Structure 1
Amino acid sequence: MKELSIEALGHILNAEIAHGNSGHLSVTGISTDSRTVKAGDCFFAIAGERFDGHDHVVDAFGRGAACAVVGRDVRAAGPVLKVEDTIVALGDLAREHRRAGGYKVVAITGSVGKTTTRQIVHHVLSGHFKAHQAQKNFNNTIGLPLTLLDAEPDDEVIVAELGANQLGEIAYLTRIAQPDVAVVTNVHPAHLAGFGDIEAIVREKTSIAQGLAEDGVFVVNGDIDILTAACRRLGRPFRTVGKSSEVDYRAEDVVYHGLRSRFRIRGTPVELPLPGPGNVDNALAAWVVCETLGLTIEQFACRIRTLPGVAMRAEPLQIGTLTVLNDCYNANPASMKNALAILAGLRPKAEGGAKRRTVFVCGHMAELGAQSEALHAELGRNIAHAGVDLLIGVGEAAKTTVAAAREASKHDLQTVCFDDTAALCDNLGRLVREYDILLVKGSRAARLESVVQELMKDYG
């Protein structure tokens, strides 16, 4: 971030400086973790579920912090700026930093595909601009401000991700980001415990337009009627992407070939090194962003061909003779459906012509509220219809999925269920065969990445 005097910081946050003379000290960075504070950082003391940053202000100064922003009285060895709410203060600082910056901001939200779309946009734009993107999935009231504040003065484009699990978060975040281009990848049942129903999700996701610049570009998935209807009610122009004939930007001649996808945009062939229909939609949205910022379709197609895999998002791994789709980051009904479509397309013959089994290691889908049991049962029926050979359920909710899959199956579907991931890892050796094709997917709480690690240890 651009160097800022402590006095100027206090003015932005409407905070008085206490506990020490700021002198001519300046802030050169922002930190919310006392363990990683560097000399010159401003430490924001944030109270979380497990830790309270106010308990670590002394540690932050010990590591060279220039000052600290706090929400209550603390013992400190340097300048302290007291505010009403440190998270709101962090957002206020990020909003001012963004307002003063000379860069463009791309903001991406949606039920599924936010991170992958962000990675595609950043990868393509990085070949033509000095571009900065969120670290990991920094998309909440802490992560988004940190993404903006981490930008360097000479950055030309910031690619940000906006997430939410309750009403009002996207509107708050978009007013901080003030995007030049806003994208809604899709809307599907997700975080229903916080939103209640799909209509609330649509309102939340489309609220990204509230922070969009007056001449900004708004991009949405045009194949989802409830989404486009909501956008029309907003009364501002928007562009649509998808596979239907009515959209503004359409993927044509789509072919899914193993772990890659091929399609055409306005006659130009695009080779996408990611599998599945969801990723084609993500790439289309990314193209509209890149076109808006001045790239040609030829430049886009050339650059996207070199896109690396996105960690733990249908990430293809070859582990010995096993083909593994590592999709452990999160799960909701839509992302499960996308992952099953990818798995169903990966049925080549093994060496010698023997059929390769498809195996689904299935964790639970979190935050679905009252609809959780019904949606887990629906997932089971989808698994059966996808022709999966072996279904391995992990956790209590997955038992509903396994039972529904068994009932709906019209083929020899093998099933087994474990109480937790550790129990599954202890039994992997007797379940997995050479040349299996495995999809490993569930919500973060399941920690299914340990299954992938176990496979690497045993088969790599």
Structure 2
Amino acid sequence: VGVTGTCGKTTTRSLLYHLLEGRMSVYSAPGNYNTEIGLPLALLAMPRDAEVGLFELGASAPGDIAPLAALLAPSIGVITLAGRGHLSGFGGVEAVAQEKWDLVRALPPNGAAFVNVDSPPLAALGERYAGNMTTVGIDSGDFRGRVTSSKNGLVVDTHAPRLHLETRLLGKHNTTNILLAAAVAIDLGLSTGEIERRIKTFSAFPHRLNLVPAPFGYILDDSYNANPESTRAALIELARLDVSAKRRAFVFGDMLDLGEGSASFHDEVIELALELGIDPIFPVGDQTTQAAKRSQSAGSFVFCEDRDLAACILSHLPDEKIALLVKGSLAVGLTKIVQELSR
């Protein structure tokens, strides 16, 4: 099974592994072994008696997916999203979608594709695809989910087949990842009852939209990586969190590798955060700092600059319970800040 997409790859792969584990012999590639170096190493590490292997395929420029897919030779291909990631290499979302679709193009005649068609460029490609494909989504698709939330996480209900999926995952955007994992699990022979039981015990990977207790309230830790889509989703989740914290705050690290539109993408995130009433906002990095300075709401920002970041953040948090989102590209280093803030 090959999994690709702008975001959601690791969550979908890990969730599928959790569903299948114990039911069959399944191997899941370690870490982010999804490049021309990592994928061969992951394949070499797969036990010979594994019935199912789960692998990610990553791409930062045109031409990356096809050789990975040729090496993997998957019988199942999963595409989670085509969004605004690595645009310095791709230029636009349509090019991202075409690149991700190379995984579907690599499938054999008896292969199966599973695609999130809530992503418009993927929906457009899916309409022209004549092979075996299951589409998923909230708004459209063969396998649709109606999503509600509880204090513990997302609850997703489907009708064909009927499933009631109680999860620990946060963020409405994770609905399609849940649907993709469930659809593949059904294709591989799991019953609906097995899926409903096992999905309850799945926990998200660290630094991927985890709610962490902190001395000042809560940290919504999504510090592993960032692009405009995932950051927007995290901000919306921050605003709607059902926790005993009156205020919402945001540590916003640079979103890297976004090409010529990077400034406008950072402006877009700042504007959304302000619309949602999130205050204060801590820009971390040149691009977020410049976006904040272009904003008309200077009073909402705290610029820590070269000072100890964690100490600066703590000293500027209001004296009341706070839910603090920490989000930025991995190279910004915010995962360390989460550790310091949660002590």
TM band (smaller chain): over 0.9
- Determine helix, strand or coil for the equivalent of 1:452: helix
Q: Give the TM-score taking structure 2 as reference length.
A: 0.94
Q: Which position in structure 2 is the counterpart of 1:34?
A: none
Structure 1 position 234, deviation (Å): 4.2
Q: For residues 219 and 455 of structure 1, do their structure 2 counterparts lie closer, same or farther at Cα, with a shift above 3 Å needed?
A: same
Residues 317 and 325, structure 1, Cα contact 8 Å, conserved in 2: yes
2:168 alignment partner AA: P
Q: Which amino acid aligns with 1:403?
A: K
Distance 1:169 1:163 in 2: 7
Cα deviation per residue 1:8-62 (whole Å; 9 max; x = unaligned)? xxxxxxxxxxxxxxxxxxxxxxxxxxxxxxxxxxxxxxxxxxxxxxxxxxxxxxx
Indicate whether 1:418 and 2:311 are aligned: no
Q: Deviations over 1:101-153 (max 9, x none)?
A: xxxxx111011111111110111111311211121111111111111110112
Residue 130 of structure 1 pairs with residue 46 of structure 2:
no
Residue identity in the other structure for 1:453? Q
1:450 CA drift (Å): 1.7
- CA apart distance, 1:382: 1.2
Map of 1:67 onto structure 2 = none
Q: Which residue of 2 aligns with 1:87?
A: none
How far does the alpha carbon of each residue in 1:351-387 deviate from its partner, in whole angstroms, 9 at most, with x for none?
xxxxx21111100100011111111111111111222
- How many equivalent pairs are there? 340
2:168 corresponds in structure 1 to 273
How far apart are the structure 2 equivalents of 1:132 and 1:338?
30
Is 1:258 the counterpart of 2:156? The answer is no
Cross-structure match for 1:202: 97
Residue 228 of structure 1 aligns with which residue? 123
| Change in 2 beyond 3 A, CA 1:413/1:208 | farther
Residue 349 of structure 1, CA deviation: 3.5
What SS does the aligned partner of 2:61 have? coil
State whether structure 2 residue 171 is matched by structure 1 residue 237: no
Cα-to-partner distance string for 1:277-335 (whole Å, 9 max, x where unaligned): 11111100101110110011221111010002211111221234521121111100011
User: Do the aligned residues in 2 keep the contact of 1:262 with 1:269 (CA within 8 Å)?
Assistant: yes
Tell me which residue corresponds to 2:337.
Answer: 451
Matching residue of 1:359: 249
Secondary structure of 2:249's partner? strand
Q: In the alignment, is residue 427 of structure 1 matched against residue 322 of structure 2?
A: no
1: distance between equivalents of 2:189 and 2:282? 47
- Aligned 8 A contact 1:324 1:440 in 2: yes
Q: Secondary structure at the match of 1:251?
A: strand
Aligned-pair RMSD on alpha carbons? 1.8
Instruction: Identify the residue that residue 280 of structure 2 maps to in structure 1.
Output: 390
Query: Contact (CA 8 Å) 1:250, 1:265: kept in 2 or not?
Result: yes
Structure 1 unmatched ranges of 5 or more: 1-105, 351-355
Distance in 1 between residues matched to 2:216 and 2:158, nearest whole Å = 35
1:438 is aligned to 324
CA 312–348 in structure 1, closer or farther in 2 if over 3 Å, else same: closer
Amino acid at match of 2:101: T
Distance 1:394 1:259, change over 3 A: farther
Q: Aligned residue for 2:236? A: 341
Alignment match, 1:91 = none
Alpha-carbon separation, structure 2, partners of 1:413 and 1:221: 40
Q: Distance in 2 between matches of 1:313 and 1:188?
A: 17
Q: Is the 8 A contact 1:395 1:418 kept in 2?
A: no
Stretch deviating more after TM superposition (217-226 or 363-372): 217-226
Cα 1:135–1:368 shift into 2, 3 Å: same
Q: 1:255–1:413: structure 2 CA closer, same or farther, 3 Å change rule?
A: farther
| One-letter amino acid matched to 1:387 | G
User: Residue type of the partner of 1:119?
Assistant: S
Bigger RCO of structures 1 and 2 (CA < 8 A, at least 6 apart): 2
Q: What is the alpha-carbon distance in structure 1 between the residues aligned to residue 172 and residue 78 of structure 2? A: 18
User: CA 1:400–1:301 in structure 2 vs 1: closer, same or farther (change >3 Å)?
Assistant: farther
Alignment of 1:118-197 (within 5 A): 118-197=13-92
Structure 1: distance between partners of 2:233 and 2:136: 17
Aligned to 1:376: 266
Alpha-carbon contact 2:116-2:135 (below 8 Å) kept: yes
- Partner SS state of residue 97, structure 2: helix
1:249 corresponding residue in structure 2: 143
Q: SS where residue 127 of structure 1 aligns?
A: coil
The letter of the residue matching 1:265 is T
Q: Matched residues in 2 for 1:401 and 1:297: separation?
A: 47
2:93–2:121 Cα contact (<8 Å) kept: no
Question: Which structure has the larger Rg over C-alpha atoms?
Answer: 1
List per-residue Cα deviations over 1:246-296 (Å, max 9, x = no partner). 4100102x2122350112122431101111111111100101110110011
1:443 is displaced (CA, Å) by 0.4
Please name the residue that 2:107 is paired with: 212
What amino acid does structure 2 have at the position aligned with 1:165? S
The correspondence for 2:203, drawn from 296, 308, 311, is: 308
Q: Check the 8 A contact 2:11/2:204 in 1, yes or no.
A: no
How does 1:41-80 map onto structure 2 within 5 Å?
A: none
1:330-356 Cα shifts (integer Å, max 9, x gaps): 100011011112101115445xxxxx2
Asked if 2 retains the 8 angstrom alpha-carbon contact of 1:309 and 1:316, the reply is no
Q: What amino acid is aligned across from residue 143 of structure 2 in structure 1?
A: Y
Cα deviation for residue 161 of structure 1 reads 0.6
Equivalent in the alignment of 1:318: 213
Closer/same/farther in 2, CA of residues 127 and 322 from structure 1, 3 Å limit: farther
Judging changes above 3 Å, is the alpha-carbon distance between structure 1 residues 413 and 277 closer, same or farther for their aligned structure 2 residues?
Answer: farther
Contact 1:326–1:441 (Cα < 8 Å) also in 2: yes
Aligned to 1:55: none
